[in-house]
């Protein structure tokens, strides 16, 4: 008799796992049945793409779907849409599911279950159920945004200065709305960027026409007679917003797991081992999980599609009878803010000091190409290293075209535990349209190595 | 009494060394005098920028000069232009120099001498002193090209399919000339790229309007009644060329060194140790030297500005009383061919097999950004790994905007000795405008890891 794997949540982590489990089972000869239950009507979509769909860069929601339910079914996965997992009975090896189409509840037995329940946007009380106020998380959110913008609103308010906030501010300004971004941080992105680098993001947003208000929390909204949002209270003053984008972060959706008595970590996510296993027959991957930061040796909550895909794949290999390990993260991320590419990896100076590292840092201005080339744009690189070992601990980049993906050099170096000096002398690609003769990341690492 | 360093050749390697020597001497307290002799009238220029100057991307030759002789003099370096080193007397510690301005010859004593004599373009007999036939090496070459193109020629012939050949073909096609590139290789770039990757370069050149003729050597030219070049004989047929660009490579300029009894390596360059020292008081850096390939553990001849700058800096630190080592190269390079970014690092499959490595390779098509984004362009990644160790041995990339500098991920991985599996699971930057959720380099490494 075949083993049955039930995957709960059919998005990046869940469907990576489901596919990889079947693929591995074919190789190992394991007899595996895979059922994936999904409460919504869509699977395997790119949540990261939603701001660009709202912006109009992407025409059709279907383009954001990497693989449809039908395609997954063709690949042998029993995908059940509109099917919500409402309870988990670990002793019985059953998950209780409600079929939203029929309203019926039933139990589904499993040998293994993978929790890939994802994350939910943080929604303050003032933001609940106010027409015109929307998060940016699901395809349904994206569709609602497209509809909202079709009504030709004039003023947009973005609450939150993290990735989603910055991306939505860019999007809404590009759509022609008078856009204000409000963040409680000292600068945009200050949750994971140095303030001086955040200031460059702020400048880029301002160049893109976004007004940026920092050091302030929105605590209340004003609604019009029609009940729709009209403004928010910022520093005691009302700031107009016919539409309000919520970018206050997300939290792991763990109700199902905690309801079954499974523990969560300090950051509120599930904490599977490096094979993505929580306990016998119970696995987890994606935005419902914390991930190991290799530099800190601690679990952090970093809900990103790239980690979800990798962790899902690892879980799938193990569930299919193979052996794979999730090696952790170094904290790499990238986004765009107007004409600026914005990227990071590793620790901030604050995280490093709090973790007890003895650090030095540098900030350097350079250019993305040789200064005499028309392609040349300014770029600023910040780098952090550890005294004694000389090890590179972090890097942040804000600059023009071609700046952002240079973070991968620093990320790969951190992955390998290289020193700043190693990076300074590494053999990176140079030609005038692409780089100064010393790559900007290398210049920063050279200066850093000198200080270390 | 101060020690005198004489630097012969005032370009990337020489002036990096001169500056770094003085900088280090200030730190170590060494009493150092630095004299730099240069036979031409220009120092510290970007030879790599010349095709772009010829193309008109750069307006003024001065823009290609990183630092003028006057600026170097202000920094304390005694720069002597129009001064050719004609002989080296190691026993006496003297270099014989001829002043081209006055025609006088004199001797210049040194405690240390740095040979930074660079490289000379390979010039077949048929190409010597034919008006309209030019190499692309010096600023004087660049000026001659600008003058040549001002006369509005119609047909251009580029001889050689390496970096300079490809860059000049792009340049001349962009300037509106009917351009033919002739290479004896199976494909363009076939000296250091896999044929299948070279075929992509050929396609890009063809899209840019360049006719590409492979597997053929030009052995003779036809000149008109005015003595100017008119055509070349290619496969027995004349191919029109009012201008002919020579891109047949360069060779190390070592006459001065060999004249003094110093040996050269198997590839024709000087072979300094990792401190850039040849023998007591004699140092060398830049295009006149071979460099250590870290993967092969052998010295190769790879005359690139990026290595010259690094090696010059290392020499300078040591000459100033510090201690630095040149760690070698992995063979990273990048260029542009029409709309394609073209980059490489590490070994080709042929080099690897010849060196006795047991290898696997993959070639993968992906996109530079998420497929649904307007920024998304095709990219092809080739990767080579070693069976047994799983180590990444080489990578090549041809693709659209944002493709090329991704080679730095592979180069950094090779620098650190990472496996293909390490790269496959590394934490690289993902957001829809910049990458698919698995970076193309990562996808290739994942497939490669599966095969290894």
Q: Give the pLDDT confidence score for residue A236 in this predicted structure.
A: 80
List of chain B residues whose C-beta atoms are within 8 Å of the C-beta of residue A435: 334, 405
Query: To probe the interface with A, which of B412, B414, B449 has the most A CB atoms within 10 Å?
Result: B412
Q: Residue B20 and residue B4: Cα distance in Å, rounded? A: 15
At A205, give phi and psi (nearest 5°). Answer: -65, -40
Contacts of B435 in chain A (CB under 8 A): 334, 405
Min Cα–Cα distance to chain B from A49, Å: 6
CB A301 within 8 A of CB A258: no
Whole-number pLDDT of residue B134:
95
Helix (H, G, I), strand (E, B) or coil at B176: coil
Nearest Cα neighbor of B81 from B63, B64, B68, B96 is B68
- What is the predicted pLDDT for the residue at B320? 97
> Per CATH, which fold does B3-43+65-119+251-319 belong to?
FAD/NAD(P)-binding domain (3.50.50)
What is d(CA A96, CA B379) in angstroms, rounded to the nearest whole number? 45
* pLDDT at residue A107, as a whole number: 97
Q: Using a CB-CB distance cutoff of 8 angstroms, which residues of chain B are in contact with residue A411?
A: 426-429
Query: In whole angstroms, what is the distance from residue A247 CA to residue A233 CA?
Result: 17
DSSP for B331-389, please give it. Answer: --EEEEETTEEEEEEE--HHHHHHTT--EEEEEEEEESS-TTSTT--EEEEEEEEETTT
Alpha-carbon gap: A109 to the closest alpha carbon of chain B (Å): 32
Q: Which band of pLDDT confidence, cut at 50, 70 and 90, is reported for residue B237?
A: confident
Q: What is the mean pLDDT of residues B275-285?
A: 98
A432·B334 Cβ contact <8 A: no
A261-301 pLDDT per residue, tens? 999 999 999 999 999 999 999 999 999 999 999 999 999 99
CB atoms within 10 A of CB B26: 13
Measured in Å, how far apart are chain A's first and last C-alpha atoms?
A: 61
CATH number at A3-44+58-119+251-319: 3.50.50.60
| Residue ranges, CATH 3.50.50.60, chain A | 3-44+58-119+251-319, 123-246
Please state the length of chain A: 452
pLDDT band with cut points at 50, 70 and 90 for residue A1: confident
pLDDT for residue B1: 72
| Residue that is written with structure tokens 């709202």 in the block | A54
Is residue B246 within 8 Å of residue B159, measured between CB atoms? yes
Specify the domain boundaries for CATH 3.50.50.60 within chain B. Answer: 3-43+65-119+251-319, 123-246
pLDDT at A237 over 90: no
Instruction: Determine, for residues A426 and B405 on separate chains, whether the beta-carbon distance falls below 8 Å.
Output: no
**Mean pLDDT, to the nearest integer, of B402-416?**
98
Residue of B58, B310, B370 lying closest to A46 (CB–CB)? B370
CA–CA gap between residue A360 and residue A446 (Å, rounded): 12
Q: What is the mean pLDDT of residues B180-209?
A: 97
Which CATH superfamily groups domain A339-451?
Answer: FAD/NAD-linked reductase, C-terminal dimerisation domain (3.30.390.30)
| Catalytic, out of B48, B288, B395, B445 | B48
pLDDT at A53 exceeding the cut of 90: yes
Q: Is the predicted pLDDT of residue B230 greater than 80, yes or no?
A: yes
Confidence of residue A328 (pLDDT cuts 50, 70, 90): very high
Contact A334 B430 (CB under 8 A): yes
* Residue from B366, B408, B436, B450 whose CB has the most chain A CBs within 10 Å, to mutate: B408
Indicate if the pLDDT at residue B397 is higher than 90. yes
Active site residue A445: no
Percent pLDDT > 70 in chain A is 100
Residues of chain A with CATH 3.30.390.30: 339-451
Question: Nearest Cα to A162, choosing from A184, A132, A179?
Answer: A184
* Contact yes or no for A309 and B438 at CB 8 A: yes
Beta bridge partners of A293: A298, A329
* Active-site pick, A48, A233, A289, A445: A48
Tokens in use for B225?
A: 């009644």
- A8-36 pLDDT tens trace: 999 999 999 999 999 999 999 999 999 99
Min CA distance, A233 vs chain B (Å)?
32
Partners of A291 on chain B (C-beta within 8 Å) are none
Q: Which letter does DSSP use for residue B202 in this model?
A: H
Nearest chain B residue to A304, by CA: B430
CA distance A287 to B450: 27
Residue ranges in B183-245 assigned as alpha helix (H): 195-207
- Least Cα distance to A318 among A269, A271, A283 occurs for A283
Neighbours of B450 (CB within 10 A): 12
Closest listed residue to residue B400, CA positions, set B429, B378, B381: B378
What is the distance between the alpha carbons of residues B315 and B283, in angstroms, rounded to a whole number? 7
The Cα B135–Cα B141 span in angstroms is 6
The number of C-alpha atoms within 13 Å of B190 and in the hemisphere containing its C-beta is 16
Residue A334: pLDDT over 90: yes
Confidence of residue B79 (pLDDT cuts 50, 70, 90): very high
For domain A123-246, the CATH superfamily is: FAD/NAD(P)-binding domain (3.50.50.60)
User: pLDDT class for B235, splitting at 50, 70, 90?
Assistant: confident
Whole-angstrom Cα distance, residue A327 to residue A329?
A: 7
Name the closest residue on chain A to residue B294, using Cα atoms.
A427
The tokens describing A351, both together, are 């995280």
- Residue A235 pLDDT level (bands cut at 50, 70, 90): confident
When the pLDDT of each residue in chain B is averaged and rounded to a whole number, the result is 96
Closest CA to B398 of B238, B200, B134: B200
Token duo for residue B223: 């000149």
β-pair partners for A213: A182
């Amino acid at each position: 008799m075949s083993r049955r794997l039930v995957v709960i949540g059919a998005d990046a982590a869940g469907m990576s796992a489901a596919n990889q489990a079947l693929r591995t089972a074919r190789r190992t000869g394991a007899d595996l049945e895979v059922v994936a239950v999904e409460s919504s009507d869509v699977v395997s979509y790119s949540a990261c793409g939603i701001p660009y769909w709202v912006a109009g860069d992407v025409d059709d929601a279907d383009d954001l779907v990497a693989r449809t339910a039908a395609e997954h079914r063709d690949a042998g996965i029993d995908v059940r849409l509109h099917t919500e997992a409402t309870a988990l009975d670990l002793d019985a090896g059953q998950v209780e599911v409600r079929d939203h189409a029929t309203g019926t509840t039933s139990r589904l037995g499993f040998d293994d279950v993978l929790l890939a329940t994802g994350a939910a946007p943080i929604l303050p009380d003032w933001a609940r159920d106010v027409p015109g106020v929307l998060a940016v998380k699901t395809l349904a959110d994206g569709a609602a945004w497209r509809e909202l913008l079709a009504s030709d609103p004039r003023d947009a308010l973005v609450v939150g200065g993290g990735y989603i906030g910055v991306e939505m501010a860019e999007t809404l300004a590009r759509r022609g709305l008078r856009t204000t971004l409000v963040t409680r941080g000292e600068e945009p992105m200050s949750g994971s960027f140095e303030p001086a680098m955040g200031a460059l993001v702020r400048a880029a947003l301002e160049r893109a026409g976004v007004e940026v208000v920092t050091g302030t929390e929105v605590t209340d909204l004003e609604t019009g007679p029609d009940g729709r949002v009209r403004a928010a209270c910022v520093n005691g003053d009302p700031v107009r917003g016919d539409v309000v984008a919520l970018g206050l972060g997300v939290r792991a959706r763990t109700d199902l797991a905690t309801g079954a008595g499974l523990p969560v970590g300090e950051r509120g996510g599930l904490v599977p081992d490096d094979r993505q296993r929580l306990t016998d027959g119970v696995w987890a991957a994606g935005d419902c999980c914390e991930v190991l930061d290799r530099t800190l040796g601690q679990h952090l909550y970093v809900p990103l599609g790239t980690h979800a895909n990798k962790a899902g794949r690892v879980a799938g290999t193990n569930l299919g009878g193979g052996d794979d390990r999730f090696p952790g993260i170094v904290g790499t991320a990238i986004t765009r803010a107007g004409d600026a590419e914005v990227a990071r990896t590793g620790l901030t100076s604050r995280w490093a000091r709090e973790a007890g590292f003895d650090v030095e840092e540098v900030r350097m201005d350079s250019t993305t190409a040789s200064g005499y080339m028309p392609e040349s744009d300014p770029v600023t690189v910040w780098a952090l290293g550890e005294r004694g070992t000389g090890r590179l601990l972090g890097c942040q980049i804000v600059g023009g075209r071609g700046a952002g993906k240079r973070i991968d050099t620093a990320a790969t170096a951190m992955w390998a535990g290289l020193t700043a000096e190693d990076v300074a002398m590494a053999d990176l690609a140079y030609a005038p349209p692409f780089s100064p003769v010393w790559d900007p990341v290398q210049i920063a690492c050279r200066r850093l190595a000198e200080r270390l």
